[in-house]
Structure 1
Amino acid sequence: MTLSMLLFYMLLGALLAWPCWLLLRRAQQARQPLRCVQPYQPRQPRLPAADAGDTATPPRAQ
């Protein structure tokens, strides 16, 4: 076996191993457990804080 044939087969092996390596990596990532995330809950817009003298309810009747 000449050096050029050896180089050719090494290059051919690397080219064939590359897509197999990508598929293997994707399969390993698919087997990992999913990350827990917080469910999406949009925050309600907060109203500005009311002052003590600025009440929304009328005073109580006596």
Structure 2
Amino acid sequence: MTPVKDAIARLPNKNLKVQLLFNNGISQNWRLGSKTIEELKKLPTIKQSLGQPIPKR
């Protein structure tokens, strides 16, 4: 998971076109909006890799 977290942390907050490659051989092209990128970085495991504290619930 670390390579994925590091890659997400480095993404710019802008619209991105990405190609997802699945383990069954299927690939799909997706468009991620800037707000989606921002929200991905807010996921608890991603926030932790960015050095930000995870709020207690």
**What interval of TM-score do these two structures reach, taking the shorter chain for normalisation?**
under 0.3
Q: Work out which of the two has the higher radius of gyration on C-alpha atoms and give 1 or 2.
A: 1
Q: Which has the higher contact order (CA 8 A, sep 6+)?
A: 2
**TM-score (norm. length: structure 2):** 0.26
Structure richer in strand, relative to its length: 2
